């Protein structure tokens, strides 16, 4: 079984999956990485569902720490939605990761991580409170994923007036064990509160933890849909595909590289970024490791990341030279081109892509143009267009069909507790 260590630990002191999961970030500020990537039995190709693949993959990572039946039950419950590969042309497909309860691929990681945490805490008869600052898709996926898990509560902080109407409805929907606060400040103020809370002595015994995208418990489950994509691709005669991943923090790409390596595949990857171009710039040797880029606000806001957190993990696992010479091709797409590509995809295939997915389609087209690679490209659809309805309707000039998961949210009373952006205000809410 693999063990895990921090990217910043030269002695490579081993920790268990459970510790990596419950700590999230290593105490030295590094990210946990596996000492080795375990191999899947070739029979993975016969899996009949995403959750079956989830069981196979997770068993290889933590089969020594949780009983097989428990892992299977977690995968079945967490990965309970469709992830179809939709074919648009002979050489172009979309893997739709948007069928979860909050309509983004973040549901895959968040739902699985929540159940894994709950299982480990139940074994210890211990409770934790996940404290999250959110500006978009992560918060609702985490809140929904953890809701009703009896050993974990969630406290969500979002910047009042700075998230879209749909995002706000998703964040404030009443959920068991989840409290949401609208902070009178911006996203940075929310993040600052979270950081202060984690080091506050009075809150030490409160059992705070985080659920951000650097957690292995979110990352590893995401590798399953790359394999589910490969199973579906093969069924239609696509033996080898190129995966195009709309990217921000690079967690999704990292998960794809790990998952396909477990399965003995060696696909080509495209990392499609918006104007936040650190990673394409690094591959082109315009930027170096450790360069600090400011975050630029774009249409595909879930990918607005100046300094991708998973880069440290990619770099530690592969090394800079291997990354630059390896199987990742990357590009950076402006908002204007994103809108044009969204239109082109709609006109050519009748397919409606969210802004993030549209960045992916542009990346796919550029890759083909630049390399002449004729293999089919599978673009990962990372969010449902209805989550970004205004931008999509404005760009395409069409009215989107109503989506039930979002319509249902409108039935709830729109009430949310406000919070002043001070640690004292947060503590008085948490400790009473």
Ligand X SMILES: *Cc1c(COP(=O)(O)O)cnc(C)c1O
Q: Which residues bind ligand X (CB under 6 A)?
A: 104, 106, 137, 213, 246-252, 302-303, 356, 382-383
> Which of 397-413 are b and which e, b meaning 16 or more Cβ less than 10 Å from the residue's Cβ?
eeeeeebebbeebeeee
- Of the pair 59, 170, the CB lying nearest ligand X is at 170
Helix (H, G, I), strand (E, B) or coil at 223: helix
Place of tokens 């998703």: 170
> Which of 231-242 are b and which e, b meaning 16 or more Cβ less than 10 Å from the residue's Cβ?
bbbeeeebeebb
- Of the pair 249, 260, the CB lying nearest ligand X is at 249
Shortest Cβ 215–ligand X spacing (Å): 12
- Of the pair 203, 250, the CB lying nearest ligand X is at 250
CA angle 246, 213, 139 (to 5 degrees): 95
- Of the pair 47, 220, the CB lying nearest ligand X is at 220
Shortest Cβ 159–ligand X spacing (Å): 17
CA angle 148, 34, 110 (to 5 degrees): 20
* Dihedral over Cα of 338, 251, 368, 281: its sign: positive
Task: Answer whether 271's CB lies under 8 Å from 328's CB.
Answer: yes
Shortest Cβ 141–ligand X spacing (Å): 8
- Of the pair 32, 120, the CB lying nearest ligand X is at 32
DSSP state of 402: P
Nearest of 34, 49, 44, 57 to residue 224 by alpha carbon: 57
- Show contacts of 420-428: CB within 8 Å, 24+ apart: 420/183, 420/184, 421/183, 421/184, 421/185, 421/189, 421/190, 421/192, 421/193, 422/193, 423/193, 423/196, 423/197, 423/200, 426/157, 426/181, 426/193, 426/197, 427/197, 427/200, 427/202, 427/203
Residue 13 burial (CB count, 10 A): 12
- Of the pair 248, 389, the CB lying nearest ligand X is at 248
- Of the pair 118, 310, the CB lying nearest ligand X is at 310
């Amino acid at each position: 079984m693999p063990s895990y260590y921090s990217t910043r630990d030269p002695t490579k002191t081993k920790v268990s999956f459970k510790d990596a999961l419950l700590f999230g970030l290593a105490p030295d500020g590094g990210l946990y990485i596996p000492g080795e990537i375990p191999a899947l039995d070739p029979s993975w190709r016969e899996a009949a569902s995403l959750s079956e693949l989830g069981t196979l993959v997770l068993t290889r990572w933590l089969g020594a720490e949780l009983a097989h039946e428990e892992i299977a039950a977690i995968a079945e419950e967490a990965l309970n939605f469709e992830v179809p590969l939709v074919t648009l042309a002979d050489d172009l497909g979309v893997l739709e990761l948007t069928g979860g309860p909050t309509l983004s691929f973040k549901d895959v990681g968040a739902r699985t991580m929540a159940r894994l945490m709950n299982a480990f805490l139940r074994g210890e008869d211990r409770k934790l409170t996940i404290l999250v600052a959110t500006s978009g898709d992560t918060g609702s996926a985490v809140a929904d994923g953890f809701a009703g898990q009896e050993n974990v509560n969630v406290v969500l902080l979002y910047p009042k007036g700075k998230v879209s109407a749909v995002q706000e409805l998703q964040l404030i929907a009443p959920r068991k064990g989840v409290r949401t606060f609208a902070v009178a400040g911006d996203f940075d103020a929310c993040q600052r509160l979270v950081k202060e809370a984690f080091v506050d002595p009075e809150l030490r015994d409160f059992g705070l933890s985080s659920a951000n995208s650097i957690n292995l418990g979110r990352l590893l489950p995401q590798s399953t849909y790359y394999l589910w994509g490969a199973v579906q691709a093969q069924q239609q005669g696509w033996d080898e595909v190129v995966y195009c991943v709309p990217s921000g923090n690079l967690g999704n790409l990292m998960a794809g590289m790990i998952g396909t390596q477990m399965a003995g595949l060696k696909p080509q990857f495209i990392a499609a970024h918006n104007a936040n171009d650190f990673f394409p710039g690094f591959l082109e040797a315009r930027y170096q490791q450790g360069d600090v880029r400011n975050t630029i606000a774009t249409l595909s806001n879930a990918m607005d990341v100046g300094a991708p957190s998973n880069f440290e993990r990619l770099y530690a696992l592969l090394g800079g030279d291997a990354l630059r010479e390896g199987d990742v091709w990357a590009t950076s797409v402006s908002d204007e081109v994103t809108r044009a590509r969204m239109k082109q995809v709609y006109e050519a295939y009748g397919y409606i892509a969210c802004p993030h997915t549209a960045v992916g389609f542009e990346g796919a087209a550029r890759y083909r143009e630049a390399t002449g690679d004729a293999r089919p490209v599978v673009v990962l659809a990372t969010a449902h267009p209805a989550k970004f309805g205004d931008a999509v309707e404005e760009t395409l000039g069409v009215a989107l069909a109503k989506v039930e998961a979002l319509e249902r949210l409108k039935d709830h009373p729109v009430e949310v507790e406000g919070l002043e952006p001070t640690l004292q205000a947060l503590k008085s809410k948490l400790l009473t």
